[in-house]
């Protein structure tokens, strides 16, 4: 690994020697001691107790970083029972007009960069990209810099540190490349560029107390997101829509809920307060989860906003598979690369040819072959109902491409990757000494690519079976 390792403790950052040669840098190794985790849980409990004026019904539990923590019930709860209530005065809000609420003041740096955040953003700035999400990121920037009042001075200690942020906008270029998804990489780089262009005076680590500490400790700043990129990632991964559908809020306590496709709770925002209630009966110690997307986003969009993909897969990825066929076909007609990429162009050409094969609805024989191929790969480490559903939906849509087109499209995608996923997984494991030494951002990036293994195997089996069946039929005649 190109492996500058950063060890982030409670208040310090240490640089460790390179561990192994390779193509990408390990960005961080997050160390969350049990003592610090207990201290954060105690701080969460104290702040929530003060906010609600009653013993909390949830506790913050978990290990390191953003992905290791979540809310858990402290008592048995009935369906429809209130779990927690967050007063409106603790929330940071942004209206579609750009008007910000929840701050007690602004830093001079923010006034110079963006003016008075209590004012509407203005048509010119809006057209340049200063939409509500960017404005709310400015509010979180200020709240974590001392302008949110006593509550936010404490609560900011519970938020993920910049090197824990995994949403696309906050990933350093070296890790964006490792997603090996040109569309997602382009989106991440574009958002980073937009934030720099909108507020150039904020595009420095020294302008915010959280990120300036890394500069003071001589950390490799190319691996630490800029402060606005960090707070933007917090916003897109943790904000909530209010009842009027024109106002969005960064809601403390509620933002710690983990995602589930089968959530145990949901929130409302009546009268300005945010209320989290159970969707079913819950037992003490059970995880309190919500649905981040309402089952609407594919893996690319999930990672762009939240910095992870569901471990069980995503049935919405059928549309990504269809996009792979189109991208491969387009590459076959536009590529002018030299002969060293001939193999890539060959796969793209095969995808283009297969995609033009006449096809209406999948016939019974083809469906049987698909089901047989799916069944043969159910024991794969990557096989889950959601991933199998994505493959099935992609192949059985009436206007979809043939299994051969999907197979060659996925092959083209993999050939575009500079290295294989299995090699990268082994490399990541070789560069860590144990669970506490895991790099959360590298883990997140590699998990994004892992699902392709199953797709390729099923498409290959299905297309091979179809070719064999056609050959057998030809032989009979």
Number of other residues whose CB lies within 10 A of the CB of residue 470: 11
CA-based nearest residue to 113, from 232, 190, 247, 228: 228
pLDDT in tens, 148-192: 999 999 999 999 999 888 899 999 998 888 888 888 999 999 999
Residue-level pLDDT at 6? 31
Residue-level pLDDT at 451? 60
Q: Do residues 452 and 410 lie in contact, with contact meaning Cβ atoms separated by under 8 Å?
A: yes
pLDDT in tens, 276-298: 999 999 999 999 999 987 678 88
Q: Which residue did the predictor score with more confidence, 345 or 420?
A: 420
Q: Which residue did the predictor score with more confidence, 245 or 45?
A: 45
Q: Which residue did the predictor score with more confidence, 397 or 139?
A: 139
Share of the chain above pLDDT 70, in %: 67
Q: Which residue did the predictor score with more confidence, 99 or 440?
A: 99
Instruction: Kindly tell me if the per-residue pLDDT of 22 is higher than 50.
Output: no
Q: What is the mean pLDDT of residues 255-263?
A: 91
- Asked which of 53-67, 220-234, 256-270 is least confident by mean pLDDT, the reply is 53-67
From CA 139, how far away is CA 116, in angstroms rounded? 11
Instruction: Kindly tell me if the per-residue pLDDT of 34 is higher than 90.
Output: no
pLDDT in tens, 194-225: 999 999 999 999 999 999 999 888 889 999 99
Q: Do residues 276 and 265 lie in contact, with contact meaning Cβ atoms separated by under 8 Å?
A: yes
From CA 307, how far away is CA 169, in angstroms rounded? 9
At 86, list the tokens. 């967050």
- Asked which of 94-108, 342-356, 423-437 is least confident by mean pLDDT, the reply is 342-356
pLDDT in tens, 367-424: 666 677 767 767 776 677 777 777 777 777 766 676 667 766 766 666 656 666 666 6
Q: Which residue did the predictor score with more confidence, 75 or 474?
A: 75
Residue-level pLDDT at 471? 57
Q: What is the mean pLDDT of residues 328-332?
A: 69
């Amino acid at each position: 690994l190109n492996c500058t390792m950063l060890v982030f403790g409670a208040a310090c950052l240490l640089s460790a020697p390179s561990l192994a040669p390779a193509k990408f840098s390990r960005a961080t190794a997050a160390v969350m001691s049990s003592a610090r985790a207990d201290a954060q849980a105690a701080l969460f409990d104290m702040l929530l107790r003060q906010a609600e004026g009653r013993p909390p019904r949830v506790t913050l539990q978990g290990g390191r970083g953003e992905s290791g923590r979540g809310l858990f019930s402290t008592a048995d709860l009935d369906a429809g029972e209130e779990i927690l209530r967050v007063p409106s005065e603790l929330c940071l809000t942004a209206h579609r007009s750009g008007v910000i609420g929840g701050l007690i003041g602004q830093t001079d740096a923010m006034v110079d960069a963006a003016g008075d955040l209590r004012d509407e953003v203005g048509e010119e700035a809006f057209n340049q990209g200063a939409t509500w999400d960017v404005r709310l990121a400015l509010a979180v920037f200020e709240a974590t810099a001392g302008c949110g009042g006593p509550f936010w001075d404490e609560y900011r200690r519970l938020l993920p540190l910049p090197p824990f942020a995994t949403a696309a906008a906050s990933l350093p270029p070296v890790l964006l490349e490792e997603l090996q998804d040109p569309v997602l990489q382009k989106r991440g780089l574009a958002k980073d560029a937009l934030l720099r262009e909108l507020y150039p005076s904020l595009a420095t680590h020294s302008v915010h107390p959280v990120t300036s500490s890394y500069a003071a400790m001589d950390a490799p700043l190319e691996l630490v997101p800029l402060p606005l990129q960090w707070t933007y990632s917090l916003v897109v991964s943790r904000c909530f829509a209010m009842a009027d559908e024109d106002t969005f809020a960064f809601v403390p306590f509620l933002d710690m809920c983990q995602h589930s496709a089968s959530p145990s709770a949901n929130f409302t925002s009546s009268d300005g307060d945010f209320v989290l209630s159970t969707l079913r009966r819950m037992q003490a110690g059970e995880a309190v989860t919500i649905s981040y997307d309402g089952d609407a986003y594919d893996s690319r969009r999930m990672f762009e906003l939240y910095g992870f993909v569901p471990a069980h897969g995503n049935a919405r990825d059928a549309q990504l598979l269809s996009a792979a066929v189109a991208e491969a076909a387009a590459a076959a007609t536009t590529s002018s690369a030299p002969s060293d990429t001939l193999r890539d162009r060959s796969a793209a050409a095969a995808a283009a040819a297969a995609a033009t094969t006449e096809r209406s609805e999948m016939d019974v024989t083809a469906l049987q072959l698909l089901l047989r191929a799916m069944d043969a790969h159910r024991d794969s480490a990557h096989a889950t109902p959601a991933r199998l559903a994505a493959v099935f939906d992609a192949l059985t849509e009436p206007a979809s491409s043939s299994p051969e087109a999907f197979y060659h499209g996925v092959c083209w995608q993999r050939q575009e990757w500079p290295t294989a996923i299995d090699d990268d997984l082994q490399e990541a494991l070789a560069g860590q000494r144990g669970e506490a030494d895991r790099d959360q951002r590298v883990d997140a990036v590699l998990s994004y690519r892992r699902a392709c293994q199953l797709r390729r195997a099923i498409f290959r089996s299905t297309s091979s079976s179809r070719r064999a069946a056609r050959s057998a039929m030809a032989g009979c005649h």
